[in-house]
Amino acid sequence: MHKIPISVYYCILGALAVLILRFIDESRLKPDVRPNYLSPLYYIRGVLGLLLAGILGYVYFVNEPIFKSLLIYFHTGASAPLIVRTLQHSIPSNLHVRPKG
């Protein structure tokens, strides 16, 4: 049975910190522009963000020795959405074009 690496936990904690900060910022907005906290989609997005951070923590650090500073894992989890978005935009758009024929 596999143990979950400590990097995954700290990456999820980093993503959770970002979600908490986003919630605090959104709660300061006017009610008409504030997100709908009763919508399941709001929470699904949050859970998917945490899952994304955990996956990234596993992929990046699974075979690495544990760093002395766990802050590296935390930062990776906090920046997980930006990392994945950058990877997504780095794929050339011409890969989706079918050849003429």
Could you report the per-residue pLDDT of 30-66, keeping only the tens digit for each? Answer: 999 999 989 999 999 999 999 999 998 898 888 777 7
pTM equals 0.77
* Average pLDDT in the chain: 85
- 5 pLDDT higher than 80: yes
Residue 46 is predicted with a pLDDT of: 92
Residue 81 is predicted with a pLDDT of: 82
Residue 61 is predicted with a pLDDT of: 85
CA 51, 56, 61, 62 dihedral sign is positive
CA 52, 53, 54, 60 dihedral sign is positive
